[in-house]
Amino acid sequence: LSRDEIMELYEGSRHISVRDRDRNMEPLNDLFSVAHACLFADVVQYMIDRDIEYEPIALVEDVHQAIADVHMSGNMHKEVALDLPKYIEPNPALRPLLERIRSGKKSFLCTNSSFPYINAGLKYMLGDDWQEVRFRSLLDRVGGEYCAVLLSSSFVYQLFDVVIVSARKPKFYTRQRSFRNLDTGNTQVQWHAVRELRQGEVYTQGSLYQLAKLTGWGGNRVLYIGELEDEMRINTLEELMRSIQNELRSEPEAEVWPFFTPSNYEFVSHLVDIHEELQMEMEMLINANFGSVFRADTYPSQFAFFVQRYVDIYSARLENLLEYPSNHTFYPERIGMPHERPATTPRYE
């Protein structure tokens, strides 16, 4: 859309209130939501091409329900598991990264997916032994012969200390439900209470509270690698925002009014148009469909805001962590406020 079309659609302002955003917009904060948006766009295009009249809100609700049904029923997981090479691209750096994380540290896997689906996917990506418990052996030469010496239990080799499936996130983070043991042979959930989390076992349901209680993990000692969720709600006064914007807009006009002529305004408007064209060209160089996920024109996108608000470190690809030593510490950069400017040394001639 052109700038004029955008201004017309949004009633003369490019500002979108929180109320309108929550009521009429769906944020794209992870890869799953992007696929969701593509499906919705395809359905809308199908309706338009065949001149089928539809109610937008009803279409949104139906797409939401269809996606929920295909996940809850497990049909999508079964379809993917039947042809893994078609849907999953193995990453050769994934296993070395997990081994690096596992070395000297504890690691856990927590997913909403079922065990058969996770087991099939991880076998394809990591190998059939992703869940096996093995011991490293040290070969020592004694009298010209080699003998294997079993090391202490701290050298147990396994990619994950705890495996949790069907976790039912996001409720996993807020409730205090206990874990249940899963018999992976026949995928039956056991009835007995879980008093400890053991290596080699698979658990289902549970909660973050129980995970911290049974393992002692918690606080800033845990690095959670996951996807962003849309849980941010900003409470602002819309009228106050409009008032501030009007004040900021009128103040510079009052200061420079005597020096401005109609030709000046035309020139400034022309510069604004050129700036928007150049900005659009730069965005298209990043991605021809939607530009940068971190920027909306010159401003941070909502996705960028969520990253700044919730994420300690972020990267385009997980294996980039392999470029750092295991004992590396990441320190955040100091973020300057608008009134802070870098100090400059005066120049004297």
Residue 258 CA to its chain's centroid (Å): 51
Domain contains 67 = yes
Phi, psi of 297 (to 5 degrees): 60, -120
The helix/strand/coil state of 166 is coil
pLDDT averaged over every residue in the chain:
75
Same domain, 315 and 289: yes
Least confident interval from 60-64, 160-164, 192-196, 281-285: 281-285
Domain contains 232 = no
Domain contains 346 = no
CA distance 170 to 230: 11
What's the Cα-to-Cα distance from 228 to each of 30, 65, 235, rounded to whole Å? 6, 21, 20
Q: If you average pLDDT over residues 5-27, what whole number do you get?
A: 77
CA distance 211 to 198: 12
Same domain, 191 and 151: yes
Q: Which of the listed residues 172, 192, 221 is the one where a domain comes to its end?
A: 221
Same domain, 156 and 267: no
Same domain, 193 and 138: yes
Same domain, 262 and 169: no
Q: Which positions ≥6 away from 65 have C-beta within 8 Å?
A: none
Asked whether the predicted pLDDT for residue 154 surpasses 60, the reply is no
Of the candidates 328, 294, 326, 331, the residue with the CA atom closest to the CA atom of residue 312: 331
Which residue range(s) make up the domain with 243?
238-323
Q: Is 11 left (phi over 0), alpha (psi -120 to 50) or beta?
A: left
Q: Which positions ≥6 away from 306 have C-beta within 8 Å?
A: 29, 228, 230, 232
Domain contains 51 = yes
Same domain, 72 and 34: yes
Q: Which of the listed residues 221, 250, 267 is the one where a domain comes to its end?
A: 221
Domain contains 228 = no
Asked whether the predicted pLDDT for residue 167 surpasses 70, the reply is yes
Same domain, 117 and 60: no
Tally of domains within the chain: 3
pLDDT score, position 349? 54
HEC per residue, 28-92 = CCCHHHHHHHHHHHHHHHHHHHCCCCCCHHHHHHHHHHHHHHHHHCCHHHHHHHHCHHHHCCCCC
Give one DSSP letter per residue of 264-322, joined into a string. HHHHHHHHHHHHHHHHHHHHHHH-TTT--SSEETTEE-HHHHHHHHH-S---SSGGGGG
For 183, the token pair is: 């018999």
At 213, the amino acid letter reads K
pLDDT score, position 217? 85
Asked whether the predicted pLDDT for residue 227 surpasses 70, the reply is no
Q: If you average pLDDT over residues 165-177, what whole number do you get?
A: 87
Summarised one tens digit per residue, pLDDT across range 37-47 is: 889 999 999 99
Phi, psi of 163 (to 5 degrees): -120, 120
Domain contains 59 = yes
Same domain, 105 and 204: yes
Domain contains 233 = no
Q: If you average pLDDT over residues 189-201, what whole number do you get?
A: 87
Tell the burial category of 206 from Cβ atoms under 10 Å away from its Cβ (0-12, 13-18, 19+).
Answer: buried
Same domain, 59 and 141: no
Same domain, 93 and 74: no
Domain contains 275 = yes
CA distance 30 to 308: 15
Summarised one tens digit per residue, pLDDT across range 74-96 is: 888 889 999 999 998 888 888 88
Q: What is the CA radius of gyration of the chain?
A: 28
Q: Which of the listed residues 61, 80, 99 is the one where a domain comes to its end?
A: 80
| Look-up of token digits 């939607």 | 290
Same domain, 123 and 146: yes
CATH number at residue 129: 3.40.50.1000
pLDDT score, position 254? 45
Same domain, 93 and 59: no
